[in-house]
Chain A
Amino acid sequence: MTMTMAATGTSIWRTTIDSALVLVILAILPQVVDPYQTVLLTYGLIMAIAALGFNLLLGYTGLLSFGHSAYFGAGAYLVAFITRDLGAHSMELCIVGGMLGTLIIAAIFGFVCVRHTRIFFGILTLALSQVLWSLAFKFFWVTGGTDGIRVPYASLTLLGGLVDFKGGGSFQRFIYAYYYYVLALFAVSTTIMWVIAHSPFGKALQAIRDNETRARFVGISVRRYRWIAFMISGIFTGLAGILWVPLNGLTTPDILYWPFSGEIVFMSVLGGFRSFTGPIVGAMAFNYLKTYAIASTEYWQLLLGVVLVILVMALPAGIVGTAAQLAAKRGRSTK
């Protein structure tokens, strides 16, 4: 199997310059496009963080989780609890609290799940995520049941209280401020994930994915590495859930239900889970695809299902993988 996980051959400078360019474009975009597009972009960036976390398990460790809704949902509900029950306003406090909580859940679930691989791992993650869903669904006096919990953006402050959203025109201000807030966290998350994926730890994960037995003989403690990868993956997806709540204004059990886990898998495959950037591109693309499918037809699930089936049958390498293949082919033909 030939796999180019990173920009092999190109220098680290090239990667840095490319990502800086993308960041600059992303920073300029809200000045050019209308507020609705800015909101969509924010959702896209948030889902990209979730997919990035998810792909540390699928793309790098070779473990397909069908239960990542658990960490996204846990992050979202923790923010709701922190703002509602503790009366906190600081978004940073929500992030720290939410990530700590998600870490604990991912540590417990991961400890159980990494005892298995392949299909059993998938079913185990699914079953455990559904435990959280059923709790959120049934304990309505805590979680609001299917009504969920409201998290109004106006009650939150960013950057330790420097930015608040009171008074007139606050929604506009919130959209712009929150976009840059999310963009900054996206940049930080992507950088951290890039470092993790290219660190000796990341290489060890790839070794485990490609050949577990050999990895064990080299002296890698396979189960512990998988567990750590699971926790990192969970925290990233949890952060996405945390950031998602104020934008959505509401958290419901839907984001804990297993079809939402399927959506996270969908995004990563859409972009291409064999590359680092694949899940990011996939999450952004999926976000637009879903938004426009819902807006244009009542039968948007049908549309998404057809796209997924075609993708699996015809383009298993995803958007980024297929683009890379095309570029390679063109490169050969011009030589």
Chain B
Amino acid sequence: MTIFVIQILNSFFYAAVLFLIAAGLSLIYGVMRIVNLAHGALYALGAYVSAWIVGSAVGHALEGTLGLAGMLLLLPLGAIAIAAVGALIEPTLLRPLYQRSEEYHLLVTFGLLLILEDVMKLVFGRTPLSAGTIMDRMGSIPVGRLMYPTYNLFVVAVGIAAAIGLWAFIYRTKFGVILRATSQDRRMAAALGINVSRVYVQAFAIGCFMAGLGGAVVVPAQAAVLGLGIEVLILAFVVVVIGGLGSLQGALVGAVIVSFVRTAGIQFFPEIELAVLYLIAAAVLLVRPTGLFGRA
């Protein structure tokens, strides 16, 4: 029974991280119809930058003065850095391509993925970076007869907060209205006086922020290694395909489904755990190409 509870908690932990990544991917697709193959690399970059920031803070003996709360507050800096990278990428690499067919979108983001993978190798080296101090300092809480790391619960809370925050942002603010209007009809939005280029930069930066945040929250639990983003991208694809490309609710439900299937898979059918996920994605695309929550 205890194991069962822990597996459920683990699933929610994965779901929170996957949701952060998939929501960014989905937002970018929803607004500018670009499938960002570099999204996983941006997630990995977020993990590296956050681990590096926390690592240097600890290294400079700031740990004593910082305290746990201070270190937790350092983590989002990585996400902000990724948002800045995104705000740089959109106008330079993506904006010239909106008029061209989507093959070119995939190619340019694939090129970006190759570049980012090596930039990470160049800047952070081959040794894995981790911010495990945070996880250690948070301790663990008893679940039945076993102990469970408190940090994982914190990540679940971040995931829930991000979901609520993003929902409120998109459906309850003026910027959200502008974002949705641009997403539905770019030309009409431009005709109404909306600065579409600026909306695109902002949307892309927010999407990148989400990916970076995903990396930032995962790095205290799991070290940043090379190639981290390549596998995660495909999982994020599975999430948005199940939930529906461009749908926020879809990303949430998809992330939960994928995490639970994965946890069950690792427990009961480890050999075909990944294959089952890809097959689910293929089946959903076949039966309902717009996903569970997508619109045509």
Contact = CB atoms under 8 A, between A and B. Distances in A.
Interface string B262-277: 0000000011111100
A180 interface: no
A302 B107 CA distance: 14
A212 to B, nearest CB: 14
A72 to B, nearest CB: 17
Given A127-B282, A128-B282, A302 B118 contact: yes
B110 A134 contact: no
B289 A116 contact: yes
Count chain A CB atoms within 10 A of each CB in B103, B116, B270 and give the residue with the most.
Answer: B103
Interface stretch (A8-16, A118-126, A197-205): A118-126
B278 A127 contact: yes
B170 interface: no
B22 to A, nearest CB: 13
Contacts, number: 126
A266 B118 CA distance: 18
Given A302-B118, A306-B111, A308-B111, A130 B106 contact: no
A178 B32 CA distance: 48
A271 to B, nearest CB: 13
A138 interface: yes
A127 B241 contact: yes
Contacts of A316: 100, 104
A128 B279 CA distance: 7
Count chain B CB atoms within 10 A of each CB in A259, A298, A309 and give the residue with the most.
Answer: A309
Contact of A138 (B108, B110, B274, B278): B274
B285 A130 contact: no
A269 interface: yes
A77 interface: no
Contacts of B232: none
Contact of B110 (A112, A135, A266, A306): A266
B117 A119 contact: no
B112 to A, nearest CB: 7
B270 A138 contact: yes
Interface in A88-136: 112, 115-116, 118-120, 122-124, 126-128, 130-131, 134-135
A258 B40 CA distance: 13
A58 interface: yes
A94 to B, nearest CB: 26
Interface in A135-151: 135, 137-139
A269 B111 contact: no
A304 interface: yes
B66 interface: no
A107 B279 CA distance: 16
Nearest to B279: A131
Q: Interface size class for chain A?
A: 35 or more
Interface residues of B, number: 43
Contact of A134 (B102, B104, B115, B275): B275
A116 B282 CA distance: 11
A127 B238 contact: yes
Contacts of A249: none
B237 A123 contact: yes
B143 interface: no
B119 interface: yes
A305 B271 CA distance: 33
Contact of A309 (B115, B234, B238, B282): B115
Interface in B221-268: 230, 234, 237-238, 241, 245
Given A127-B237, A302-B115, A308 B274 contact: no
Contacts of A115: 286
B234 A126 contact: yes
A308 to B, nearest CB: 3
Contacts of A130: 234, 274, 278
Contacts of B234: 126-127, 130, 258
Nearest to A64: B103
B21 to A, nearest CB: 16
Interface string B72-110: 000000000000000000000100110010111011101
A51 B241 CA distance: 28
B285 A265 contact: no
6 contacts: A116-B285, A131-B282, A266-B110, A300-B118, A306-B115, A309-B112
Interface of A: 58, 64, 66, 112, 115-116, 118-120, 122-124, 126-128, 130-131, 134-135, 137-139, 257-259, 262, 265-266, 269, 298-302, 304-309, 311-313, 316
Interface of B: 35, 37, 93, 96-97, 100, 102-104, 106-108, 110-119, 121-122, 230, 234, 237-238, 241, 245, 270-275, 278-279, 281-282, 285-286, 289
Given A299-B121, A301-B117, 8 more contacts: A124-B286, A131-B282, A265-B110, A301-B114, A302-B114, A304-B111, A305-B118, A309-B112
Top 7 closest pairs, chain A to chain B, by CB: A305-B114, A308-B111, A302-B118, A305-B115, A134-B274, A309-B111, A301-B118
